[in-house]
Structure formats: C-alpha cells, structure tokens
A and B are shown apart, each in its own frame.
Chain A
C-alpha cells in the first residue's frame, strides 16, 4: 500500500521552526509519513535527503527573506540529480509579488502566513494524487 512520504525542510539559517513543525504534525495526522530535516539545511543536504528517503513531495519553510535564492538552488540541484519531478512547496513569509517568481522557478505551491492547515493538507493530496495519475504509478 502506497504511503506518501513528505520532506519538510528548513533551508538557510532561519531558526524558527514553529510553522514547519505544525505543518509536519498536520500532515502526520492526515496519514503522511513526514521526514523532517531540522534546521540549517543547505540545498545539497536537502536534495540528498530527498534522494535517500525517496520522498514524494518537498516542503521548504523559509521566513528569512531568502526564499527566492534558496528555492532556486534547491530546484536546480534537484534537476541536476534527476529528481526534478518531485513537487516543491514553499511556506513562510513570502511577499505577494514574489509568489509568481517562485512559481516561475518551478515551485508548485506557495503558502503565506495565515494559510489554514486544512488547505495545505488538501493541496498536498491534490498534487500527490495528480502526480500519481500522470506517472501511472
């Protein structure tokens, strides 16, 4: 039976993990297996973890303003390592006009402050099931 595995990562130096942990908790309560990387992850470490854990989705939590740079690096590295097909979500403090820029980089969903957990869980499910149906697994 397929169990979806989701990576929740904190790239960069930002040390606030309240949101990441609350989202991880909600995803766990929704039946997902959540792998949490902890703080201060480099894009290289995140991608390595995603590979070893064979995850189905990656969630980046960034509150320090470095979201464009960090998301770009992670996605580029993912493509280089052949896992560019894994959907990437970004959550945190994202100014509204950076959202289209993130989507352009390849981020699939962006969640700003105040996004309900139920919405995040719903979107995670939609995206994962969408991926599953297209890849025929």
Chain B
C-alpha cells in the first residue's frame, strides 16, 4: 500500500469510525513494536524522535510516526506542528508521518488511535512511533496503546517537581534525560536514579541523550529493541496487547453508549444510563445493528 492509500484510510478511520471495522478486517493481522514518546513540551521529544527515526532507518527498518497534539477545547481546531522537526525524513519512502489532533479524547490521544495503529502495523511498518504530550496525569492513554513508553525529561523544566507526579512517571518503561550537555543534567539524572531506586525500578532504564547531535540515541534504540524482544519472548507482550484490546473495547463501548446518551433526555444521570442502555438493547433486539 502506498502512502496516499494509507493516508486516506487513516482519514476514513478518523472521520467515519463505523467503517474502521470493515477496513481493518480486510487487512492481514500483524504486530510490530509500538513505541510511545511522551514528555513536556520543549524537552526535545520531536528532535529525539527525529534521531530515533534516523537510527532505525540506518538499520534498515521502516517507520510510521503518529504525532498527536491537543485539539482546542473551544474551537475544536488544532495546530499540528510536530512534523516540523522530522523534516529530513519527509522524502524517505520508508518513513510515514501523520499528525493527529486529540479531538477531545479523554486520554490525550485521539480515539481512533487504536485503529490507526492497527492499520499501520497491518500495512507492514517495522516500527510505529507515537508522539504525545504527557504533561498531566490524564494523558496516560499512551500506556495502553504502546508496547513501550519512553518518557523524555530535560533539566530546567521543573522536572524535579514532575518526578513527584507519580502518574506520568510510573507509566514509563524507559527514561530519557535529554540535553545531557547542559549543566544541571547530572542533577536530574541523579534524582531520577534515586527516585527509581526508591521505587524498586530498574535504573538501567535511564538513558542520557543529546538529541541535537544524536548522542545516546543508539543506546536508546538498542534498549527499545532489547526490551521489546524480552516482552515478546515472555508472555508480557501478549498481556499488554490484551490490555490494549481491553482499552480499545472500552473506548468503543463508551463511544457507542455516548451516542445513545445523546438521544436521552433526563435530569437523573442514573436514569439516563438506564434509558440509553434500554434503547441500545431494543435496537439490537430488533436487528437494527448497534453499530459502534
């Protein structure tokens, strides 16, 4: 499938989610490493991903990137500027970059992300990278979509404070301390190691990088490859994919229910849910297809 076809399918999945099922049904089931990158704006995530893509390309791997940015809660529009940093890969046929707006999804990613990732896996990319902004504890959806979550930190972001915001910290598998040529970087690194030790986590999961010149990127990619291999060899990957399936299902269920909820008119939330479920069951009963 060429880039144009892939792009059109993604648009379809985003805009007409009811058709995703049919689209995906026709494609071969395939899995590949799905790596999520999260971290505050300005830590150097995009620059790092740019380098990671370069490294993966240099070892002959094809890469699909989904960069998610928040939609404006007021206008529902979005400014999607992440691909700017990945310019040098635009003309590489082995790299596909797509920007997505969150479209109000609760977890900080777009609701269609599950289907989009599944599509990208099916069409044969060796790696799927997801870039997301993970500033708060709500934006942890990436944990369920990705097999490996890389949290990017950088000195001078009050990361020392961030470390205490347990939610984001805990979902990460690999920690990147970026801009290691800046003073203050060691302090962040030390604090991080200390924190992980205290939490009983593996401190070898910390990597120092200078995304600007690529230092540490090879090490990061090696860690990702090794980790994924070990997940695949044990039952961990299967479990994670099950979790992903569960969250995907819940997202679909929520969306379906929301549709019925929007037709219900009640002041009592409990009654509203009952009415919506009733309405849905009636439709199913009379073979009108619930649809998702």
Binding site for B on A (CB under 8 A): 1-3, 5, 24-25, 27-38, 41, 44-45, 48-49, 51-54, 81-83
Contacts and interface: CB of A to CB of B under 8 A. Distances in A.
A51 B10 CA distance: 12
Contact of A32 (B3, B77, B81, B87): B77
B91 A44 contact: yes
Q: Which 4 residue pairs are nearest across A and B when measured between Cβ atoms? A: A38-B84, A28-B77, A54-B7, A45-B90
B75 interface: yes
Given A2-B15, A34-B80, A36-B84, A51 B3 contact: yes
A33 B3 contact: no
A-side interface mostly: mixed
Given A30-B75, A30-B77, A38-B84, A48 B91 contact: yes
Contacts of B81: 35-36, 38
A25 B97 CA distance: 22
Given A3-B14, A33-B77, A48-B3, 6 more contacts: A5-B11, A28-B79, A29-B75, A34-B79, A36-B79, A53-B7
Interface residues of B, number: 31
Nearest to A45: B90
Interface string B222-253: 00000000000000000000000000000000
B78 A37 contact: no
Contacts of B79: 24-25, 28, 34, 36
The dominant DSSP class at the B interface is mixed
A10 to B, nearest CB: 10
Most chain A C-beta atoms within 10 Å of own C-beta, residue among B4, B6, B77, B78: B77
Contacts of B85: 38
Nearest to A5: B11
Interface string B88-116: 00110000111101010000000000000
A83 B4 CA distance: 9
A26 B10 CA distance: 25
B83 interface: yes
B25 interface: no
Contacts of B14: 3
B258 interface: no
Nearest to B76: A31
Contact of B97 (A36, A52, A54): A52
Contacts of A31: 75-77
B72 interface: yes
Given A28-B75, A29-B77, A54-B8, A3 B83 contact: no
